[in-house]
Amino acid sequence: MPSFVRSSTPPSAAHGAGGPSEADLLGFVRRTAADATLVSSLPLDPEGRTWIRLDGPGGSEAWLISWPPGAGTGWHDHGGSHGAFATAAGSLTEQSLAAQLPTEGWTLLELADGVDRERQLTEGSGRAFGPHHVHQVFNASSQQHAISVHAYYPPLPMMRRYSRSGPVLRLEQVELPEEWA
């Protein structure tokens, strides 16, 4: 999967010891998604996602990511970090769980009825989420790339990847930051 790394975001204000809030991150991703020059600088690949690493506010980790038609993340969490993302071009679908899952001590969970949520994030829309958020994001278009901006605080210590079959969620893999560099 090709990647491109560049740090190029506007300077951000310093934050307290707690780092940027979800609202701070949401404001950042929305402003950055509206930066047409930055968004147009992201190379698009028809075969896979591409990305540029950005300087997020207050020491957060941020990314500009392209999504070719049909690309997605699969079910995952953000290792205890809170975050936000906004769509800069195209449309993304987010499927998430409206339940706080335990972060340790399990490999298989059966989800209760009514925990599934789905939302469309069209150009200019975004959302913030807390540290226990489990979701998958994908570009459902068969023809158009999507581009989004993501920010996480603290910087991602890990990502847990899950498989899902009906109500059953299974922990499949734990990825560490050095695996995404």
Residues annotated as binding site for Fe cation?
Answer: 76, 78, 135
Taking a C-beta distance cutoff of 8 angstroms, is the pair 59, 19 a contact?
A: yes
User: Rounded to whole angstroms, how far apart are CA atoms 52 and 4?
Assistant: 5
CA distance 95 to 97: 7
59 CB-contact burial (10 Å; exposed 0-12 / middle 13-18 / buried 19+): middle
75-76/159-165 β-pairing: antiparallel
Binding residues: 76, 78, 135
Q: How far apart are CA 160 and CA 163, in angstroms?
A: 10
